[in-house]
Amino acid sequence: MLSPYQWQVSSHLTRAKKAGTPATLTLKEWVATVKYFDNKCAYCRTRPTEVLEHFLPIILGGGTTANNCIPACESCNSKKGSSHPDRLSRLDFSVENIEYIKRYLLGEVNVNPPHTVNSRALVVYGT
């Protein structure tokens, strides 16, 4: 039986492959991303992680990759839908949180252990 994280990664890799978009996210990368956001939704930063969210939706060419996937709650995931990241502030998402997400996905943040970001290759210590 797959863990919830394994299922999330596996199902989204399949979706990306079917859509012809990049599909390279590993379980370690996903776990490190969820940990970076403290097991909270990257958009609201208050509710717990419930889904793997594509910052740039698959339908718009985004892949299931370390530099495109973030944790989200069901509510924010539903509100965002298939919107392009440039339209998120119009949907009442915090500009500060959107910029925080962008910096993380671009590898522009300082990440302390237990995980580090290095050229978008994430290494999880202790796993």
pLDDT exceeds 80 at position 1: no
112 has a pLDDT exceeding 80: no
Q: What is the pLDDT of residue 109?
A: 83
pLDDT of residue 64: 98
Full DSSP string of 40-106: B-TTTSSSBP-EEEESS-GGGT--BSTTTEEEE-HHHHHHHTT--GGGGGGGT--HHHHHHHHHHHT
User: Global pTM?
Assistant: 0.84
All domains of the chain, ordered by start, with CATH? 4-106 (1.10.30)
Q: What percent of the chain has pLDDT over 70?
A: 86
Q: What is the mean pLDDT of residues 38-47?
A: 98
